[in-house]
Structure 1
Amino acid sequence: MAGGRVILFPILVGLHYCSFALGSVSKTELSSFITGLWNDDTNGASFSDVTYNLQSQTSTSTTTDHAHQKLFQYVNENHLFTKPTYSAFIALLDNFDKNTAHSEHTTSAETAEIDRFITAVMQTSVMTETYRFLHEKGYTTSTTDFRNMLKSLWFTQYSRSGNSHGSNGFEHVFVGETSSTAVSGFHNWIQFYLEEKRGHINYLGYVYTKQPRKLGVHFTWYDKTKPLTTLMVGTSPEFDLAVLTTCFLVRQNINCNFDMAGNHLTVKSYDVSYVHGDQVATAYFD
């Protein structure tokens, strides 16, 4: 990222292939576009904003705790979390019941928080460039259409467990979910930091680390295990939403491969097979 910033970087429902025109965006175009977002992510964390302690490497096959300290040593909350997209993002995190077997009802206050978050990200240069790119490629027709698309893709509720409508893409990817035995989703560094700070997460060690500081980590959340989750640490909420949305649209249900900041990266995304329209089942940096 520009300006010396550091980016410390499934249980799935049924899947199917969508009707989007796969292959209409080349890898070269995708790489150029996402590198531009990376360089333009002015709300991303600086080197001094986020520090973490990897400690010992572990594997997905063990439950032994190889990290006796927290992953995150310091996050400059006063600088980062007062930014409009961060504060709107954080306000959403307590709106969900993590248990996928529990049905959820979105209140009017929670709907207002969703709208506030979408408004905040739409006002950033990262999401403005994302709209322009997707509009040029024919994936959206107007800013209003794009806004409605973001809300539908990420916040439409569906079921992952029986008949309970207790999940959506945002909850799965950015907040995390639990079944009776395991953690699923949970691919956001801000949520990880906040839950670790509250004592809900026990970081067990890192599985791998790759530039630009993408972390694969092993942890328990409310005593339920996630053998491996990936975090792009230090990216802004709008950057993550922009990249994951773009890959979901242009490479849905297949690997989204691109080069960014001199590194090869892959995003995996899948849609929900049994609902009308397109909703995110999961999307994450692999």
Structure 2
Amino acid sequence: MARSDAVNRELSDVLNELWKLDDNRLKPGKDYIISLQGKAGYVAKGSQARDMARQPLFSYVNEEKLRSIKSYSSFISLLDNYETSTGVTETVTKEELDENDRFLDAILETKVMQRAHSYLVSKAQSPPDLKKFKAQLYDIWFRLYHRDRSGGADSCGFEHVFVGETKFGKEITGFHNWIQFYLQEKLKNVDYKGYKAQDKDKPDENDHVLNLQFSWKTLVKPVGSCFIGVSPEFEVALFTIVFLMSKEKVTNTTVQVDEYLLELVVFRHGFSIGTSYPKLLSSNMHM
């Protein structure tokens, strides 16, 4: 599963199964409303971005669902567990370990993760035993490692992908999750600058994948990308499958999921995820 512009059919098939099983995915226009506004421009390294979106990206999210659905509420409890800056050694408390545990338990109860598990077992990439699979997920997403060699263990896959990090106080790395984006935007820590797309591929406000530009605190991410409205278990399942099905240090694979043609990117950091994100290539395609 190294780089290929051809659509990976087998992977697309299993990801479409996960898509259909994702009962906890929020519905655009009903459970959340986004406002795309203007198209973001090019940002030179170290310069400020021109704001092409006066309003926030999210104008509404059904927070009752974020509180009442176990995989969302347990996911949100993890977002304040990390030091943003790389090079700052992470201190993990007993309470935070318990929160990691509760999150993995919550997603393992979902049909999405159960199907991902059965697929990975069929490919001899995961153990059939659920406790051992949970331990495997823990290593992939929560085991701490050195991202900045100058300090102690300062990062993990979950922190990088879902929470976001800053590098040398100069750039945003990771931060590919819509729930974190919404919550940080609500706190006025995130300023959405506009969508990123080719003119012929202007996104739609009902799209579940978005390439975008934003600032976080004082730093700008010139191009970021994330799923919108999907459940935490869907993202964990999808990127875990791509990670385990490839032994490459960097995997880029093209898939067709629902109406979206995506490039899925996964960087390996030993037995853990270094980063992972979707890039929207085009939407409204027919399978």
Q: TM-score range by the shorter chain?
A: 0.7 to 0.9
User: Does 2:16 correspond to 1:35?
Assistant: yes
| RMSD, matched Cα | 1.8
Q: Which moved more, 1:91-100 or 1:157-166?
A: 157-166
Contact 1:60 1:218 (C-alpha < 8 Å) held by counterparts: no
- 2: CA distance, partners of 1:170 / 1:39: 24
Contact 1:43 1:236 (C-alpha < 8 Å) held by counterparts: yes
2:177 matched residue in structure 1: 188
1:125 matched residue in structure 2: 111
How far apart are 1:116 and its partner, in Å? 0.1
How far apart are 1:254 and its partner, in Å? 2.0
User: Does 2:120 correspond to 1:134?
Assistant: yes
Query: What TM-score results when the alignment is normalised by the length of structure 1?
Result: 0.87
**What per-residue deviation string (whole Å, max 9, x for no partner) do you get for residues 181-202 of structure 1?**
1111000000000000001011
- 2: CA distance, partners of 1:76 / 1:39: 21
1:154 matched residue in structure 2: 141
- 2: CA distance, partners of 1:90 / 1:65: 28
1:6 matched residue in structure 2: none
Contact 1:217 1:229 (C-alpha < 8 Å) held by counterparts: yes
Higher relative contact order (CA 8 A, sep 6+): 1
How far apart are 1:210 and its partner, in Å? 4.8
Aligned residue for 1:164, secondary structure, equals coil
How far apart are 1:259 and its partner, in Å? 1.4
How many residue pairs were aligned? 260
1:237 matched residue in structure 2: 232
How far apart are 1:79 and its partner, in Å? 2.3
Q: Which runs of 5+ in 1 are unaligned?
A: 1-20
- 2: CA distance, partners of 1:263 / 1:104: 36
Q: 1:217 to 1:22 in 2, by over 3 A?
A: closer
Aligned residue for 2:188, secondary structure, equals coil
- 2: CA distance, partners of 1:210 / 1:268: 20
Query: What TM-score results when the alignment is normalised by the length of structure 2?
Result: 0.86
Contact 2:213 2:223 (C-alpha < 8 Å) held by counterparts: yes
- Shift >3 Å, 4+ stretches: 209-213
How far apart are 1:61 and its partner, in Å? 2.1
Aligned residue for 2:10, secondary structure, equals helix
User: Does 2:203 correspond to 1:203?
Assistant: no
Equivalent of 2:67, from 77, 81, 84? 81
**What per-residue deviation string (whole Å, max 9, x for no partner) do you get for residues 14-52 of structure 1?**
xxxxxxx979xx932211110011111000002300101
Supply the AA of the counterpart residue of 1:205.
Answer: G
Q: Which runs of 5+ in 2 are unaligned?
A: 280-287
User: Does 2:27 correspond to 1:46?
Assistant: yes
1:269 matched residue in structure 2: 266
1:97 matched residue in structure 2: 83
2:272 matched residue in structure 1: 279
- 1: CA distance, partners of 2:55 / 2:2: 44
